[in-house]
Structure 1
Amino acid sequence: MRNLDQDTITQAVIAGFEQTPDPRLKEILTNAVQHLHAFARETRLSEAEWMEGIRFLTAVGQQCDEKRQEFILLSDTLGLSTLAVAMNNPKPAGCTQATVLGPFHVAGAPSYAHGEDVANGAPGVPCLVRGTVRGIAGDALGAARIEVWQADAQGLYDVQRPGLAQHQARGVLHTDAQGRFFFRTVVAEAYPIPADGPVGALLRATRRHPWRPAHLHFMIEAEGYESLVTHVFREGDRYLDSDAVFGVRSSLIAEWVPHDGPEGRHYTLDFDFVMNKAAV
């Protein structure tokens, strides 16, 4: 372990993992070191540049709290989240595609019955969301757990509003015996991801915009089926082809249909989800 240089350091570090009892941990650490060292060699990374990288990652961690996950945001904007989702969620034809979780999912969302208003006071134009959850064979999935969350008309999630006493524009409901669900909320609008932290600084340095196309988040769980984390995107949004977190799938784009009535304009969104069977 003495007199290590740029030609011998990598193998010396890898040798330090030889006694790791968990084989998967050993594999991950070995490959991580190999790729990190190869990156440093390929770019001829200077000490000053590496220290700047450490400062950046430190700032990302310091921005994280129970309401904001800057590391997920970094992973999203670098495409790593989408890569991990694509590798780990292969779906047969006909199943609803998965996409990124995003940094604003939180535990403890309130429960709602069918037809209730999950917006719960969030600003925006009223919208009725309807659909079904079915298996790949077409069977209705009753009692499937559906968790939804979204930004409001001002481009904010409830956890971004300091002092808000209750959750807004997020909730949990369950499908009926025919696999149906419906709830009221507000129309999804495009919004910028938080750009006041180190990830925003990175986007500005690379001349990238921070905008996400309008969407609703869904997390669906049904017994005997793979869990599904996905979005439904709004047809016609200007950012569908330049999503800051690379999450758009054509099969997840749907139309928010406008309606005018005595109480003003409102919208409807209809979308059906198809779940893949879990491996036995």
Structure 2
Amino acid sequence: MGPFHVAGAPEREMGSRISFDGKGESCLFEGRVIDLRGNAIAGARLDVWSDNSEGFYDVQQPGIQPKWNNRGVFTTSEDGRYSFVGIKPVSYPIPHDGPVGKMLAALGRGPYRPAHMHFMVTAQSFQKLVTHTFVGDDTYITRDAVFGVKETLVAPFERITGGETIWRSPFDFVLTPTDVPV
């Protein structure tokens, strides 16, 4: 889950905004939570979190960012759909002083994570999914400091004209039943 997940993020109404600092390019995140056969999963919970437009999570800047900035929990209805408005994520460096920096330097790698949105998706009778989706045109997409990028996790980010947001990122999550071996 990474070091920036915070338990107890507020439950929000489907479609609501999670970015409260007034910064960044607004983005509509939407899609469905489905099972292996493509059936909608009602009651799936999506716990989401991301950095702000300056590359910091709210817990890194208490008193600067609003509490719960770029965080929320959403529950799907019968159609399995989810939607919320955040910002298009930005890339940021991981701490690279000390041994981590020495390791990255020895590997010839930089300290940057490509832009991403975190998701933890849970539903009764399904295995928990903890993942993130990535912005495909990010400068660091092929050089993630923590090797977390997979092609299947690169989400579309479509520019919108005349909409309520600047970007739209559609992505469906497929959950595996608990009785299917990992």
* Same-fold call, TM cutoff 0.5: yes
Instruction: Compute the RMSD of aligned alpha carbons.
Output: 2.0
**Aligned equivalents of 2:79 and 2:136: distance in 1?**
27
Q: Which runs of 5 or more structure 1 residues have no equivalent in the other structure?
A: 1-100
**Aligned equivalents of 1:138 and 1:206: distance in 2?**
41
**Aligned equivalents of 1:240 and 1:204: distance in 2?**
18
Q: Which residue of 2 aligns with 1:260?
A: 161
**Aligned equivalents of 1:122 and 1:215: distance in 2?**
19
Q: Which runs of 5 or more structure 2 residues have no equivalent in the other structure?
A: none
Q: CA deviation at 1:242?
A: 1.2
Q: Which residue of 2 aligns with 1:151?
A: 51
Q: Which residue of 2 aligns with 1:133?
A: 33
Larger radius of gyration: 1
Letter in 1 for 2:122: E
Matches within 5 A, 1:46-125: 101-121=1-21, 123-125=23-25
Q: Which residue of 1 aligns with 2:145?
A: 244
Matches within 5 A, 1:198-209: 198-204=99-105, 206-209=107-110
Q: Which residue of 1 aligns with 2:179?
A: 279
If asked which structure has higher relative contact order (CA below 8 Å, sep 6+), I would say 2
Q: Which residue of 2 aligns with 1:227?
A: 128
Matched, 1:184 2:97: no
**Aligned equivalents of 1:142 and 1:197: distance in 2?**
46
Q: CA deviation at 1:277?
A: 0.9
Deviations 1:220-273 (A, max 9, x none): 00111100011111112221211100111111112211123388x710010011
SS in 1 for 2:59: helix
Letter in 2 for 1:266: I
Is the Cα contact below 8 Å between 1:146 and 1:218 reproduced in 2?
yes
Q: Which residue of 2 aligns with 1:212?
A: 113
Q: Please state which structure has a larger fraction of its residues in helix.
A: 1
Q: Aligned in 2, Cα 1:274/1:262: closer, same or farther, shift over 3 Å?
A: closer
Across the two proteins, how many residue pairs are aligned to each other? 179
Deviations 1:157-200 (A, max 9, x none): 11111324511111111111110010001111111112355433
SS in 2 for 1:260: coil
Is the Cα contact below 8 Å between 1:122 and 1:169 reproduced in 2?
no
